[in-house]
A = this chain, B = another copy of it.
Amino acid sequence: MQAPDITPLSYEQAGVNYALIDPLKVSAQRAAATTARHLAGHGFSEVKASRGESAYVIDVGPFYIASIVECLGSKALVADEMARLTGKSYYEGIAQDTIAMAVNDLITVGATPLVVQAYWAAGGSEWFGDATRAQALVAGWQRACDVCRVAWGGGETPALAGIVEAGRIDLAASCTGLISPKQRLSVGDMLAPGDVIVLLASSGIHANGLSLARKLNERLPQGYMTPIDATGTTFGDALLAPTTLYSPVTEALWQAGIRPHYAANITGHGWRKLLRHPGKFTYRIHSVPVVPPVLKFMQQHAGHDDFDAYSTLNMGAGFALFVAPEHAERTVAVAREQGVEALAAGRVEAGDKQLLVEPLGLRFGDDALQLR
């Protein structure tokens, strides 16, 4: 791989300034926490450990209910530009990406996703007038629901001129699921030293890191049309590989009698998401998955060392399952049966809170991820 001939590009340069967002997030989280008391008035309660996890869980007696709303982010901008360059529509994949954002988060707490709602906010009525694109969005949404075996309940299709940019669409999905039987609940209390870290393969960039990808597009002479490897696949096409849907794997695991001790969806913050659990453990990785060509390409062209790349992108690992050691092999097999490549990549150990990626000589300390 040739040495990058460009100055390194940080995520902040790519347009997201967490220093401005985080104080709001903290105060919203505090305000939200005070509202849990209302559930008691209805005879219910929250699962407090789910605050700070990827989905919020309440106890309604016979089972738990998990719910979430998730945004696609800026991947639609790449789809729009690629549609302009190639004449193809990429919205079938974009629909899958949007559902994946919600479903892949919801399943981390042990939930079976049951209902998805669509939030499609366009910059004007005319967005929906492009029938090919609109039908691709509908078809992809339906297909992703079929893969995840969820019911598409309905949704919103507002035209928001003046809020959403003309010609653009703000896509999000909400998802509601059940944790039933209740012992499927996975909010971290079972994680223990000795557990094996099974990494499920990503299909590419998924839907995190697209701001960085868009900055790289501006730098590359051929932009999204740049071939990323000898196969001739373009940067844009590779970016638009739809996000893997992991709920078939978590459902099959339950059928196989395997209850993960913890799960993490690897999205923003890349591999630092492996430090998501609030406990003090060392996560020692002995094997890393194959890096998808598009992420290798991005690392090279952004001038990122491995620390930067694994801090930001999924680098081939889209979802992490933490399972009892006796279940590791079967977990890998079950994932493969569902068409998702998997790797027993490391172990949980007693020790300082840190992630050690031994094959690459990387260490991420307990200050690497502040989500709570």
**Selected contact of A65 from candidates B145, B157, B168, B176, CB within 8 Å:** B176
Interface string of A49-89 (1 = CB under 8 A from B): 00100011010111101011111011011000000000000
Within the complex, the shortest CB–CB distance from A217 to chain B, in Å, comes to: 12
**Selected contact of A176 from candidates B28, B169, B176, CB within 8 Å:** B176
Interface string of A1-36 (1 = CB under 8 A from B): 000000000000001111111011101110110111
Flag if A31 contacts B112 (CB, 8 Å). Answer: no
Flag if B163 contacts A41 (CB, 8 Å). Answer: no
Flag if A67 contacts B115 (CB, 8 Å). Answer: yes
**Selected contact of A150 from candidates B38, B70, B74, B112, CB within 8 Å:** B38
**Selected contact of A159 from candidates B21, B34, B131, CB within 8 Å:** B21
Within the complex, the shortest CB–CB distance from A62 to chain B, in Å, comes to: 5
Is A161 in the interface zone, CB < 8 Å from B? Answer: yes
Is A151 in the interface zone, CB < 8 Å from B? Answer: yes
A18 to B159, CA, bound (A): 9
Identity of the chain B residue whose Cβ is nearest the Cβ of A38 in the assembled complex: B149
Is A44 in the interface zone, CB < 8 Å from B? Answer: yes
**Selected contact of A27 from candidates B135, B151, B176, CB within 8 Å:** B135
Is A358 in the interface zone, CB < 8 Å from B? Answer: no
A interface residues, Cβ below 8 angstroms from B: 15-21, 23-25, 27-29, 31-32, 34-36, 38-39, 41-42, 44, 46, 51, 55-56, 58, 60-63, 65, 67-71, 73-74, 76-77, 112, 114-115, 117-119, 121, 124-126, 128-129, 131, 134-135, 138-139, 141-142, 145-146, 149-165, 168-170, 172, 174, 176, 178, 214
**Chain A to chain B contacts (Cβ below 8 Å), 6 pairs:** A20-B126, A35-B146, A42-B112, A69-B172, A119-B172, A163-B164
Apart from A28-B118, A42-B112, A67-B176: 8 A-B pairs, beta carbons within 8 A: A32-B154, A35-B150, A38-B145, A51-B154, A56-B154, A76-B163, A121-B172, A172-B172
